[in-house]
Amino acid sequence: MNKKVANPLQPANVQFASGGIQCSAYLYRPAAAQPSPIIVMAHGLGGTRKMRLTAFAERFVAQGYACLVFDYRYFGDSEGQPRQLLDIQCQLDDWKAALNYARSLPDIDPKRVILWGSSFSGGHVLATAASEPELAAVLSQCPFTDGLASTLVMNPVTSVKLTALALRDRIGAALGKQPIMVPVSGLPSETALMNSADTIAGVTALTQCDPDYKNHVAARFALDIIRYYPGRNTPKIKAPVLFCICDPDTVAPAKATLRHAKRTPRKEIKHYDYGHFDIYVGDAFEQVVQDQLNFLKKTVPVY
């Protein structure tokens, strides 16, 4: 007889090492403690695990899936200095470390590990899955797939301002100075990494879940984003992938995402008439999480 978890919706706070730094995570376990599938999850650009990822995890764990929901180094409750440093390679290393940690856990089936990413992390899970042939499945929600496509949706004046700040920050870092910060989200008239018309309202709805959220990152990241193309990895992914694409997406253009998604060997593509930030809350959340559960039940059923 399987032992029971007292409250599967009350996660344990855990840590795992990545690059000598401790990353903090929530570990959710389903009610029946048996070798179960596990979903590894992290947020998008500058986000933390508290910003509605727990809502997705609660739905998944209620259906028998364990969930590991982590903060990247330098963000949220994880360690690392300087704070708010968004380093793409470090974040990809954190995904690998989280994956290895998930596989090592007791009462987890290491052959049924699933990656779940949204926005910027929706690209990270594609890049990670391309080099992890043993994954059971991947869920990529409104994913960032193409650095050029995402850069071109931005006002050219804003791009120039961000580049100037990024260069100053990169030079300052080489001289041992403190990071120059830029806002993650802002109004269309403001200099920010995301400043589409729906950004402020969308991010505000998410940050209400994390009172400690900081709306800035080290500016040097702006030099890296245009050189990051996780969508190019899709032909190498062996696991089945669910793409949840927001057709009117103002941050991660759907046209580029769809082009990369179609090149994935084993894919299912769902389209939504919602904006980039809408699918975390309300009716949009209900629709997308149900589609994700349907996909999971087909590809990685709970025994």
Please write down the HEC assignment for all residues of 234-302.
HHHCCCCEEEEEECCCCCCCHHHHHHHHCCCCCEEEEEECCCCCHHHCHHHHHHHHHHHHHHHHHHCCC
Instruction: Report the candidate in 275, 234, 276 with the shortest Cα–Cα distance to residue 258.
Output: 234
Query: Are residues 134 and 241 in contact, defined by beta-carbon separation less than 8 angstroms?
Result: no
Instruction: Report the candidate in 141, 143, 135 with the shortest Cα–Cα distance to residue 236.
Output: 135
Query: In what helix (H) or strand (E) does residue 27 lie, and over which residues does it extend?
Result: strand 21-28
Helix, strand, coil in percent for the chain, rounding step 5: 40, 20, 40
Q: Which residue has the tokens 């809350």?
A: 281
Alpha-carbon distance 268 to 259, whole Å? Answer: 13
Give bridge partners of residue 224 from the DSSP assignment: none
The token duo for 157 is: 């004046």
SS3 assignment, position 214: coil
pLDDT reported for residue 5: 55
pLDDT reported for residue 1: 39
DSSP secondary structure string, 76-118?
A: TTS--SSTT---HHHHHHHHHHHHHHHHHSTTEEEEEEEEEEE
The token duo for 133 is: 């042939």
Following CA atoms 259, 152, 195, 250 in sequence, which dihedral angle do they give, to the nearest 10 degrees? -30
Q: Which residue has the tokens 């690209």?
A: 123
Q: pLDDT for 233-246, tens place per residue?
A: 999 999 999 999 99
Alpha-carbon distance 30 to 37, whole Å? Answer: 10
Give bridge partners of residue 39 from the DSSP assignment: 67, 114
Query: In what helix (H) or strand (E) does residue 206 lie, and over which residues does it extend?
Result: helix 199-207
For the chain, domains (ranges, CATH) are 12-150+229-299 (3.40.50.1820)
With a cut of 70, list the residues of the chain below it in pLDDT. 1-8, 33
Alpha-carbon distance 262 to 241, whole Å? Answer: 11
Alpha-carbon distance 303 to 295, whole Å? Answer: 15
